[in-house]
A = this chain, B = another copy of it.
Amino acid sequence: MSSGSPLLADLIEALRCLPGVGGKSAQRMAFHLLERERERGLKLADTLHEAMQRIGHCTRCRNFSEEPMCTICSNASRDRHLLCVVESPVDLAAIEQATGYRGQYFVLMGRLSPLDGLGPQELGLDLLSERLGEGEIEEMILATNPTVEGEATAHYLAQLARAAGIKPTRLAHGVPLGGELEYVDRGTLAHAFGSRLSVD
């Protein structure tokens, strides 16, 4: 685009690295920041720079963290007998926002997927085994996604847990709250029907 400013063209191009942002949105963002939000744009630039350079992984749970240990792992008030295993930091954030869970986490940063070269090594399962061996954990909550690969990963992790004498649990499957049966997919409905619970 010829807009009279090569730097502006660079900015529009650079903004396209954001997910879901194409040429038109990037242009709109650039003009918006330049015309109305210089201060916040500068703040974003500095925070982004710092985040990209400083955020690594927690040495204990592999979650994103700018310190060697993340704020959840270093929080002494969290229950050390519960460990929730998730695929990615997004899942951890979702659980933190939605539930009252006060235990600890382990983030796989992926799922078992041999075809993509993701084996136990890449998921940090040696670190997880070490932690299971510490003897503090009593229950391991398998919160991997309910996909084929997520289920396979959960199955593998359940075996690890049992070998260490720890009870593995899995998130419940069923019809979502507020959903209508008519629109629930067949697999979910069949599963919910099969695992029906007695009403007290």
Contact = CB atoms under 8 A, between A and B. Distances in A.
Interface of A: 1-8, 10-11, 14-15, 17-20, 25, 27-35, 37-38, 40-55, 58, 61, 63-66, 70-73, 88-90, 92-93, 96-97, 105, 109
B41 A48 contact: yes
A19 B14 contact: no
A102 to B, nearest CB: 11
A4 B40 contact: no
Given A65-B4, A72-B2, A52 B48 contact: no
Contact of A37 (B8, B17, B30): B17
Contacts of A31: 88-90
Contact of A27 (B48, B61, B66, B93): B93
A38 B73 CA distance: 24
Contacts of A27: 90, 93
